Amino acid sequence: MRVAIHDSEKSSGYPNLALMKISAWHKAQGDVVEWFNPLFGPFDKVYSSKVFTWTPKDTYLPSDAIIGGTGHDICAKLSDEVEHICPDYSLYGCKESYGFLVRGCLRRCAECFVPEKEGSIRPHADIEEFAKHKDVVLMDNNVLACDHGITQIEKIVKLGLRVDFNQGLDARLIDDSITKLLSKVKWLNPVRLACDSQAMIEPVRKAVESMRWHNVTPRRYFCYVLVKDVDEAKDRVRFLKGIDVDAYAQPYRDKIGTEPTQEQKNFARWVDHKAEYKSRTWEEYSRSRA
């Protein structure tokens, strides 16, 4: 069978985990898997994934293409057989492994798809199911909220893997015992946190103090900042600068992908462009963009 894979967000440079698993499953059946190109069809099967609701659909996809991903259908899921296969990392030429240890979340953030898509927090996989490299990118939404996640981090330490929890860790769950565990982890990137509202300021402060006290290395940390109200987001960015944490601003989009306001986009550009951020105030930058 000739199978084609289509990634609606391939230009982002970020590998699509579901497509890598589909590719691995089909190759295990003896099928030929290749990237979709309408010039080289027809194909026996075409799989397409769309992560973001605002990504346009490729008009060249055949009408019988199997389309999944949150951006297309929030209820779409892989079968258990495909979900728990080791991804085909050769599809994107990955030098690191990708996967989830837990699924779901105990939080109910209004802007987040996870509670609706994945439900409550629960164990999902063992690290050895998908970790085929020494560097592993973990995509868990709240790994610290599940006992399975904690035991898997302990296993990661024993295996000597370098990891990046790229969705961030929940600062509200980082107490002394968690921090001591995190201090044993080898980090692929700085520890990521999130400060998406004023209510997160104190938990982030305490988490950062605890991690630095217990020498969670590297000691520079990274924090996502959701930008809805710009003045309120500015207070959170100022707070993070005061505790020497790198902020990364993300303009808010609702679940249907409504375009952020120009002010939100400008603010995010100012924060994320570190040369501008260090050399000009937000007010100065804002006036230059008017």
Residue 210 has pLDDT above 70, yes or no: yes
Q: Is residue 178 part of a domain?
A: no
Q: Is residue 83 part of a domain?
A: yes
**What is the pLDDT of the chain when averaged over all its residues?**
91
Q: What is the pLDDT of residue 106?
A: 65
Give the relative orientation of helices 230-242 and 201-213 as an angle to the nearest 10 degrees.
Answer: 20
- Report the number of distinct structural domains present in the chain: 1
Q: Is residue 180 part of a domain?
A: no
Q: What is the pLDDT of residues 76-122, one digit of tens each?
A: 788 999 999 999 999 999 999 999 999 886 666 666 666 666 667 89
How confident is the model over 112-141, as a mean pLDDT? 87
Percent of the chain with pLDDT over 90: 74
132 Cβ contact list (under 8 Å, min separation 6): 86, 89, 97
What three-state secondary structure class fits 235?
helix
Token pair, residue 231, equals: 């003045």
Distance in angstroms (rounded) separating the CA atoms of residues 287 and 256: 30
Q: What is the pLDDT of residue 71?
A: 72
Overall pTM > 0.85 = yes
Instruction: Report the b/e string of 40-52 with b at 16+ CB within 10 A.
Output: eeebebbbbbbbe
Percent of the chain with pLDDT over 70: 94
How confident is the model over 260-289, as a mean pLDDT? 92
How confident is the model over 60-85, as a mean pLDDT? 86
How confident is the model over 222-241, as a mean pLDDT? 95
Q: Is residue 127 part of a domain?
A: no
Q: Is residue 258 part of a domain?
A: no
What three-state secondary structure class fits 224?
strand
Q: Is residue 138 part of a domain?
A: no
Q: Is residue 122 part of a domain?
A: no
Q: Is residue 71 part of a domain?
A: yes
Q: Supply the range of the domain harboring residue 3.
A: 1-94
